[in-house]
Structure 1
Amino acid sequence: MPPTDHHGSFLNRISIRRNQVTSVDVTHDQELEELELFQKHLSDRFLQLLPPPQLPATGEQQQENQTHSGDTPEPPPILSIAWFRKLLDVYLCCESEFKAVLIINRDASHFSKPPLDRLLPEYLDRTVKALDICNAVTHGIELVRHWERLAQIAVEALEQRPIVEGHVRRAKRALNTLLTSMTAEDKEQNVNVGKYAERMWSIGRRGAGGSVPPAVNHNRRISVSRSLSSSFTKSWSASKQIQAMSTNLIAPRGGDPTGLALPVYTMSSTLVFVMWTLVTAVPCSERVGPVTSIQLPRHLVWTHPMIGLQEKIGEEWKKKEKKATAGLLAEIQAIEKVAQSLVEFAEGFEFPVSVEKGDEVAAQVAELAGICRILEAGLGPLQLQVREVFRRMVRSRAEVLDVMDVVGKINTHVPC
């Protein structure tokens, strides 16, 4: 379930006067405290995504760990569907808090002054690129649904008793189709599945009121509308999109009169990291492995868990024996491994199946069935969360642009 946006409409909670002074007098110390809390909360949330350290323990320590394990639930396995749902939940919480830091009780005239006059447009441009990645990830999830259906066909065939040649042939056809799709070099079938997903995912066609919002004469808004309705071409690359989002992503060095350069950089880095992680795990438009890791400074506390997660994901990629991959999503890797083993069984099938071989196949089929259940239960909610991230970015971007437009009108106002 997507987290609730507790901040509501930010434009209803801010007031911009013509004298460019905020309605609430917030001291410099209070502002610093808000910024520190934002970074601390972000760090704490991402620390919860790190897998617990695997330390050698004595018998007494193991018993103590088991005793305390019931008090605090263990985090889901990294790169699993449950883990990605938690990751998106963390992002949505951080995004809401970022808007509060950026807008509420702030002097909006800072938006038109250095360095925010450069940093904010760059951040908003990154959100536009992230919208395309959300679309690609949604298409990729639909492709995983297709793989789950093929695996389910194999499960139903091999659950029959006794296992005869007809059942094995049916399972083998489904599994070969699944594995071929996973390791395909071309992008055609991803594009075809993406078109199907695009028809089902209506966010790009209908807003909350059932229609596309009216066009606004503003180049930055036009780019969003274009992103909502565009379809992917064969030349589109998720990794190149991530690289474009990382351009000019440089930590501020101080001398910021507004105090907001660091939180804008923090949220930009968080956005790029989340999109990078999704592209790494979910099959998108290319099968060339994870894109180059994001360069994050180590002197900031909130970057430590992100760097740790990047290293863990890099380790997972190194475990792959081939470059062509369907993504690092844990369930995809598990389904691929079991499918390959069952294909080997099908190719060497002889009737009747021995008891020992029958038990081995039954265990593998049961494992594949369990993976299918996880996919069936988790892909829908995950897709809804990606959709919620998409909507939140569109809404937040519009709110920030509204503030910038009002500030622009104030700055250009000529008194009578």
Structure 2
Amino acid sequence: MPSTENQGFSLSFSSFGRSIFGVGQEQVHSVEASNESDSCNLELGSFQKRVTDRFQDLSVASDEQFLSIDWIQKLLGAFICCQEEFRAILLNNKEQVTKPPLDRMISEFFERSVKALDICNASRDGIEKIRTWQKHLEIVFCALGSSKRALTEGHFRRARKALMDLALAMLDEKESGSVFSQRNRSFGRHNSGKDHHSSSGHSRSHSWSVSRSWSAAKQLQSIANNLVPPRATEVAATSGLATPVYTMNCILLIVLWTPCCSHSLSG
């Protein structure tokens, strides 16, 4: 059912998108007006229009569609398309990429992209945990769910063990030790001493390690820090290329903002 909270997220997404892409279009059009024959400016204007069209389509989703799986898939598809087109723009303007102030802007975009990996890894980590919990529940269902056979003590023992492993996996790490080592034991894989990570200061998931105080919201704020539209002088100095760099920063922020919204709604 739609909620006022969901409506709030949808409205903020729509207004956020309009403010971002409206600024970008005005800047690109101002450059085009001063030099209409420049093919680079035409390329940038076309890119900006495609970006606007894609996100306008996303912003008019109904409350039921907003943040649904289909909507998120469409969002990721739009991001990938924009990313590929942005990459092509940079490749077509290699001589500008290494010149200031564009080199600084692109470097900041890459830094934000690296920070974005933490949020992506956190989302993947959460999905992996849910899959682990699902496996434990499937064990319980297989042990106790059949009405065509008599239940034995072995079935109850298997179900009880799966439920205990599930309870351990769902506890906070500082209370239950390593969640993933518990998961491995429940599926018959025993960690050796050198593989067991017992550090009290970090959570460990494969190659990803962050402080317990790490927060997706704080990371998102860090990515958003100092993200302001380029000045007219910067747009002119970069032959308009500052605009797609700013646009891609905003698109990255929107895509990362989505899992945080989904978590808030589900919580």
What TM-score bracket applies, with the shorter chain setting the length? 0.5 to 0.7
Is 2:165–2:183's contact at 8 Å kept on the other side of the alignment? no
Residue 44 (structure 1) aligned with residue 57 (structure 2):
no
Query: Alignment partner for residue 95 of structure 1, among 83, 100, 105?
Result: 83
Query: Alignment partner for residue 111 of structure 1, among 98, 112, 130?
Result: 98
Name the residue aligned to 1:396.
Answer: none
Q: Summarize the Cα distance change of 1:101–1:239 in structure 2 as closer, same or farther, 3 Å threshold.
A: same
Structure 1 counterpart of 2:112, one-letter code: R
Is 1:140–1:190's contact at 8 Å kept on the other side of the alignment? no
Structure 2 counterpart of 1:262, one-letter code: T
Q: How far 1:169 sits from its partner (Å)?
A: 9.5
Query: Alignment partner for residue 30 of structure 1, among 16, 30, 39?
Result: 39
Return the alpha-carbon distance in structure 2 between the equivalents of residues 164 and 80 of structure 1. 41
Is 2:168–2:179's contact at 8 Å kept on the other side of the alignment? no
Query: Alignment partner for residue 111 of structure 2, among 112, 125, 141?
Result: 125
Structure 1 consecutive aligned stretches of length 4 or more whose deviation exceeds 6 Å: 162-173, 187-191, 194-197
Return the alpha-carbon distance in structure 2 between the equivalents of residues 187 and 277 of structure 1. 28
Return the alpha-carbon distance in structure 2 between the equivalents of residues 279 and 188 of structure 1. 25
Q: Summarize the Cα distance change of 1:42–1:156 in structure 2 as closer, same or farther, 3 Å threshold.
A: farther
Q: Summarize the Cα distance change of 1:266–1:109 in structure 2 as closer, same or farther, 3 Å threshold.
A: closer
Q: Summarize the Cα distance change of 1:46–1:112 in structure 2 as closer, same or farther, 3 Å threshold.
A: same
Name the residue aligned to 2:7.
Answer: none
| CA deviation map 1:48-76 (0-9, x unaligned) | 4457447xxxxxxxxxxxxxxxxxxxxx9
Return the alpha-carbon distance in structure 2 between the equivalents of residues 190 and 80 of structure 1. 34
Is 2:168–2:176's contact at 8 Å kept on the other side of the alignment? no
Higher helix share: 2
Query: Alignment partner for residue 150 of structure 1, among 124, 136, 142?
Result: 136
Query: Alignment partner for residue 86 of structure 1, among 74, 81, 96?
Result: 74
Give the fraction of aligned pairs with identical amino acids, expressed as a percent.
40
Residue 277 (structure 1) aligned with residue 258 (structure 2):
yes
Is 1:139–1:194's contact at 8 Å kept on the other side of the alignment? no
Q: Summarize the Cα distance change of 1:52–1:113 in structure 2 as closer, same or farther, 3 Å threshold.
A: closer
Return the alpha-carbon distance in structure 1 between the equivalents of residues 167 and 224 of structure 2. 33
Name the residue aligned to 1:264.
Answer: 245
Structure 1 counterpart of 2:90, one-letter code: L
Structure 2 counterpart of 1:92, one-letter code: I
Structure 1 counterpart of 2:75, one-letter code: L
Q: How far 1:277 sits from its partner (Å)?
A: 1.8
Q: How far 1:164 sits from its partner (Å)?
A: 8.9
Q: Summarize the Cα distance change of 1:178–1:50 in structure 2 as closer, same or farther, 3 Å threshold.
A: farther
Is 2:137–2:163's contact at 8 Å kept on the other side of the alignment? yes
Structure 1 counterpart of 2:119, one-letter code: I
Q: Which moved more, 1:246-255 or 1:148-157?
A: 148-157
Q: Summarize the Cα distance change of 1:109–1:172 in structure 2 as closer, same or farther, 3 Å threshold.
A: same
1:58-97 to 2 correspondence within 5 Å? 77-97=65-85
Is 1:129–1:241's contact at 8 Å kept on the other side of the alignment? yes
Is 1:49–1:87's contact at 8 Å kept on the other side of the alignment? yes
Q: What are the ranges of 5 or more consecutive residues in structure 2 without an aligned counterpart?
A: 1-34, 185-205
Q: What are the ranges of 5 or more consecutive residues in structure 1 without an aligned counterpart?
A: 1-25, 55-75, 198-227, 282-288, 291-316, 326-416
Is 1:142–1:194's contact at 8 Å kept on the other side of the alignment? no
Is 2:65–2:71's contact at 8 Å kept on the other side of the alignment? yes
Structure 1 counterpart of 2:129, one-letter code: L
Return the alpha-carbon distance in structure 1 between the equivalents of residues 156 and 182 of structure 2. 32
Q: How far 1:103 sits from its partner (Å)?
A: 2.7
Is 1:191–1:232's contact at 8 Å kept on the other side of the alignment? no
Q: How far 1:268 sits from its partner (Å)?
A: 0.7
Is 1:151–1:174's contact at 8 Å kept on the other side of the alignment? yes
Q: Summarize the Cα distance change of 1:117–1:28 in structure 2 as closer, same or farther, 3 Å threshold.
A: farther
| CA deviation map 1:345-386 (0-9, x unaligned) | xxxxxxxxxxxxxxxxxxxxxxxxxxxxxxxxxxxxxxxxxx
Residue 140 (structure 1) aligned with residue 136 (structure 2):
no
Q: Summarize the Cα distance change of 1:194–1:174 in structure 2 as closer, same or farther, 3 Å threshold.
A: closer
Work out the number of aligned pairs and report it.
Answer: 207
Return the alpha-carbon distance in structure 2 between the equivalents of residues 50 and 132 of structure 1. 26
CA RMSD of aligned residues (A): 4.1
Name the residue aligned to 1:251.
Answer: 229
Is 2:169–2:179's contact at 8 Å kept on the other side of the alignment? no
